[in-house]
Structures are given as C-alpha cells and as structure tokens.
Amino acid sequence: MGLRGLLDGDRAHSFAGTGSYPVRLTVLDSAGSAGSTERAVPVTAAPADIGFRAAVRTQTTASTAQLVVPGGVQAGDGMLLFGTVNVLAAAVPAPAGWTEVARRDASSMTTVLWQRVASSADAGTTVTVSPGASMKIDLQLAAYSGTSASGAVAQSVSAADLTTRSTHTTPLATVAGRASLVVSFWADKSSGTTSWTAPAAQSVRSTSIGTGSGRITSLLADGGAGVPAGTAAGGLTASTDLAGSKATMWTVVLEPAQQ
C-alpha cells in the first residue's frame, strides 16, 4: 500500500522559542485509513555566526613588546594573541587578563597562544608581553565576534617544522562542536624571509615580517565562514619566499556563541 504523509516535512517550521514541542505525524493508506504518531521534538537556538572583527601586529627586539587592541573591538568578542620569540623560551608570561591556551617549541623558537573575552573597556588598551630578556618578539592579535562567552577557543592543535624548508602545513583537527570558524597561524624563523603566500580560499587577516638575522615572520588567516561539526580542519600549507630553519603551525577552532 502507498503511504502519504500529511505533515509538511519538506518545509521549515518556525517556533516561538527554544524548548520541547509536540509534533504529530498522520499518514493515510490507499484505502483512506489514517494512523498517527506524536512525539516531543527539542528545539534549540542556532549558533551565532562568527565574524572577523579586527587584527593588529607588532615586531620588536627587546625584553618587552606591546600592541594596542583595535578600536573596533566590542564587549564579548573573542580575542586571540599569538606571541612568537626567536629563542627557546622557558616561559613567556601571559599578559595581564589573558589566559594561556597552549605553546609550541621548535628547537630555537617558541610560539604561545593566549585568549581573552573582550570587555567594554578593552578597545584601545595596551597589551604587554614581557619574556624577561631581550629577544625578537612577534605578536599577532585577532578579534572575532559571535564567539562563546566562556572563551573563543574550542580546540587548538599545533606542530613544528625542524628542518629548513619554505612550505609549512597546519596540523589536522576535527571540529567536534557546532558550526565553528577555523583560524590558521604560521610562524617562521629565518634570516631573510620577506613574504608569505597563504593557502587558496583562506582570508588573510594579518602578516608580520621581522628584520635582521634570525627574524620571525608570521601569517594569520581563517576560512571566512563556519564549518559544521565533523569537518576535518587544518592540513593547510602556506609558504615563505625563503626557506627557514624553524617554524610553528597552528589550527585553532573557535566556538560560536549560543543565541
């Protein structure tokens, strides 16, 4: 016998809010007999879209590096701060109000990732990183709207290249949560790099180029749009114009806010 559903399953239905709603399905057979079933369907809010807000960078050779949070940053924005130094640092203390997510050593360089949820007073303030001794310091700060109020970073994985090469590939991560934005970061130590080439289809947010021997250069990019749970992220290759002796590569999955 043929069955015909009376519930319009092919069309979206809007609910007044989140919660549990009863949904009834009624079918008719070819003889006109009807049968129905009802069950409770949970309705949850869709995740907010994560959007790029702003980025800023700085380079220095000193015992302290500073940068200013972009003026467009708003309360609730998720801020990422990558700090890379051209020595193997025993410790790079977190700036005041920031939390360390992870660090990656690459023989004679170190990259640290910190995060912070922006307050209404953060825009225009100075962020200070003080490794404690004079060295080349590269800082890249990026802010994103629509991230989780408990912290933007849902997952971060990193890797290091310890041979001289000009191509560097980010490690793989599987997006476990709701639709998320994936941020990629590369840092390279060399004596002559002057440019980075980003992977195709990536939105470059900031490029930082140091100077002198043993300089640090870095590139920060993202996919420009959210990806669904279960997506394999990372595996992206960026290249420099000159082979460097050491590099760190990061794949960072951002958690969207719950609306």
All residue ranges of the chain with pLDDT < 70 are 1-21, 25, 27-30, 32, 41-48, 259
What's the pLDDT at 238?
Answer: 98
Q: Which amino acid is at 242?
A: L
What's the pLDDT at 21?
Answer: 62
12-42, pLDDT tens digit by residue?
565 554 466 687 767 666 676 777 787 776 6
What's the pLDDT at 1?
Answer: 35
129-172, pLDDT tens digit by residue?
999 999 999 999 999 999 999 999 999 999 999 999 999 999 99
What's the pLDDT at 29?
Answer: 65
Domain regions of the chain by residue span: 4-43, 51-254
What's the pLDDT at 39?
Answer: 76
Q: Which amino acid is at 156?
A: S
How far, in Å, CA of 97 to CA of 126, rounded? 12
Query: CB atoms < 10 A from the CB of 255, how many?
Result: 24
Return the percentage of the chain with pLDDT > 90, whole number.
72
Q: How many residues appear in the chain?
A: 259
What's the pLDDT at 12?
Answer: 54
What is the C-alpha end-to-end distance of the chain, expressed in Å?
Answer: 44
Q: For tokens 């057979």, name the residue.
A: 29
What's the pLDDT at 24?
Answer: 74
How far, in Å, CA of 187 to CA of 177, rounded? 27
What's the pLDDT at 8?
Answer: 44
How far, in Å, CA of 221 to CA of 84, rounded? 16
What's the pLDDT at 4?
Answer: 37
What's the pLDDT at 221?
Answer: 98
Whether the CB-CB separation of 55 and 34 falls below 8 Å is answered with no
Is the overall model pTM greater than 0.85, yes or no? no
Give 244's strand partners.
Answer: 165
Give 56's strand partners.
Answer: 141
Whether the CB-CB separation of 70 and 54 falls below 8 Å is answered with yes
Burial (CB count <10 Å: 0-12, 13-18, 19+), residue 8: exposed
What's the pLDDT at 96?
Answer: 96
